[in-house]
Structure 1
């Protein structure tokens, strides 16, 4: 990359990061103060100002703001950041812009193992967290192995992911059908949701997210080298297999931690990394920062829409994400098809010229 191109990319990254932080603060505040029958918007604003100044906002206002809305906003920000960063790592390590925790079966694998742990050892959240990680890793490695066996093409990776996701999803359906007591709210779990969050529940998932994100940042240079191709990366001294596996493990931990907190949310890990790449084309480390900020903003904003658009009823936030993500996924497929046709036409013209 030229010096001018690198400078432009750096400027775009800084602008996107500043804008993302601004959007995240705005949607987080909007989510905190958006009113309900228990505490209206104006009352929420007054109570939030009082609490910020160290005053006493009253028992009801404190309970609603600090015990209900604040954990929900924090959960949405953390899970959105984790899923977006997981998608970036999968796309970079597998060289496929269609890879994401939902498409690759990572979410479904984590969800299935989380449910099995909840059924076998109820009342042990640490065990469920660990099993969610195992399930996410198993699904990702299955996709990776199947795609390598079948030829490792981009299309093969996606098809293998869809197959593994369907298999794990069938396992989830079987568990909740035969043992419905394994999950209190099937719809909220399978579509994903942020209602009923507490800081105690986040205490298990957030440290794992932070550790995986720190490890991914440390792996940033190696993941950048993978984009040059396996042979080139190996020639530059990179252990290609170990670096790819480490990136996949980090992606699995991020997705599994998010699933254990908010259920099977999809499309965040597909939408955000692709939009970041379209805008700034950053390296892995700046890309992780951008994905974390914009993933958090997206999920908090979608949750705000989900709980207000049909008030007094609340929609699952996964439904809102699906309405956004499905058209986006289709547009990626169409754009890829056009790119392949353009490449074929150019190659044919080049052959005719020779």
Structure 2
């Protein structure tokens, strides 16, 4: 009798578990369809409209998916490794190091291709992220606000050095393009390198449990037989690759990795593996909404997605601080 009861009750439980995620997938899919449909050129006007969809609209939408999912999930990784909710690639200075690497590659290796620039930017991002971790390990007072403050100050120093070098070689305009993240220039043939960050997202899913244990601290991780240093390096490398590749292709996407994991955690709790699909979908949804807003707000011109995302991220960041202070 109990077996029959459990058999009868299981389908509603499965339905309750999958319905919210299925609904979220449908919402995100609707946003992606809207992204393909929205634009200055009427794709239904003539035969060229269909070709334009595959040249610009579909690549742009795929870039939104890849960058949004990778940066959101890598932000969650950074927060677990530092044991701080207010850390991501933006607030740890990682993206600024990626921009420095990209600038130096443009100066010293001007003929370097897109893949080469991606490798250089990712290597510099990795160095920056590890330097942030090293400084963090030597800081005695590690309160909620001190940790991201260290990253922001480190990023400011690197950004100042990058700007100084760019000014010396008359490259400020190019540097400004990187800092002003936008999907406007994403076309067929220029976004494909972003598929690398799809691998990053997949690896984050595979390493989720190990990253969770590493987030409990070196002593706990070592006591259960986990190679803490290997997970630290692996997680930091994933964050660096996500930051480096996105900076090369679309520029900065500020606070994306901070906002989405925190919102998901507020709604669903702190179960990392269970939250990862939601974090990935949330990253895609947020960057797509911001991109759509940027395209329609002063149509036929575009507001860079980084401006809209930065505004949204700042509001959420301040809200989280106030909420934590009240708590």
TM-score by length of 2: 0.88
Aligned pair in 2 of structure 1 residues 288, 10: CA closer, same or farther (>3 Å)? farther
Which consecutive residues of structure 1, in runs of 5 or more, have no partner in the other structure?
Answer: 1-8, 45-56, 340-354
Question: What is the match of residue 142 of structure 1?
Answer: 131
Q: Does 1:130 align with 2:119?
A: yes
- Return the offset for 1:312: 2.0
CA distance in 2, matches of 1:277, 1:34: 31
Q: Residues 13 and 280 of structure 1 are in contact (CA less than 8 Å); yes or no, is this contact kept in structure 2? A: no
Greater Cα offset, 24-33 or 10-19:
10-19
2:75 to 87, 95, 101: 87
- List aligned pairs for 1:210-229, cutoff 5 A: 210-229=198-217
Greater Cα offset, 80-89 or 143-152:
143-152
CA distance in 2, matches of 1:12, 1:307: 36
- Return the offset for 1:269: 0.6
Q: Secondary structure at 2:189's aligned position in 1?
A: helix
Question: What is the match of residue 266 of structure 1?
Answer: 254
> What is the root-mean-square deviation in Å for CA atoms of aligned residues?
2.3
- Return the offset for 1:161: 0.3
CA distance in 2, matches of 1:121, 1:198: 24
- Return the offset for 1:228: 3.7
Aligned pair in 2 of structure 1 residues 150, 62: CA closer, same or farther (>3 Å)? same
Which consecutive residues of structure 2, in runs of 5 or more, have no partner in the other structure?
Answer: 1-12
Aligned pair in 2 of structure 1 residues 294, 198: CA closer, same or farther (>3 Å)? same
- Return the offset for 1:14: 4.0
Aligned pair in 2 of structure 1 residues 114, 30: CA closer, same or farther (>3 Å)? same
- Return the offset for 1:71: 1.3
CA distance in 1, matches of 2:194, 2:61: 15
TM-score by length of 1: 0.81
- Return the offset for 1:10: 9.2
CA distance in 1, matches of 2:283, 2:56: 21
Q: Residues 260 and 283 of structure 2 are in contact (CA less than 8 Å); yes or no, is this contact kept in structure 1? A: yes
Aligned pair in 2 of structure 1 residues 122, 240: CA closer, same or farther (>3 Å)? same
Aligned pair in 2 of structure 1 residues 233, 320: CA closer, same or farther (>3 Å)? same
Q: Residues 307 and 315 of structure 1 are in contact (CA less than 8 Å); yes or no, is this contact kept in structure 2? A: yes
Question: What is the match of residue 157 of structure 1?
Answer: 147
Q: Deviations over 1:94-128 (max 9, x none)?
A: 11000011111111111111121122222422221
Q: Residues 69 and 201 of structure 2 are in contact (CA less than 8 Å); yes or no, is this contact kept in structure 1? A: no
Q: Does 1:32 align with 2:36?
A: yes
Q: Does 1:198 align with 2:201?
A: no
Q: Does 1:238 align with 2:238?
A: no
- Return the offset for 1:24: 1.6
CA distance in 2, matches of 1:100, 1:17: 25
Provide runs of 4+ in structure 1 moved above 6 Å: 9-13
Aligned pair in 2 of structure 1 residues 119, 219: CA closer, same or farther (>3 Å)? same
Question: What is the match of residue 176 of structure 1?
Answer: 166
Give the aligned length.
313
CA distance in 1, matches of 2:306, 2:168: 24
CA distance in 1, matches of 2:210, 2:84: 17
- Return the offset for 1:315: 0.6
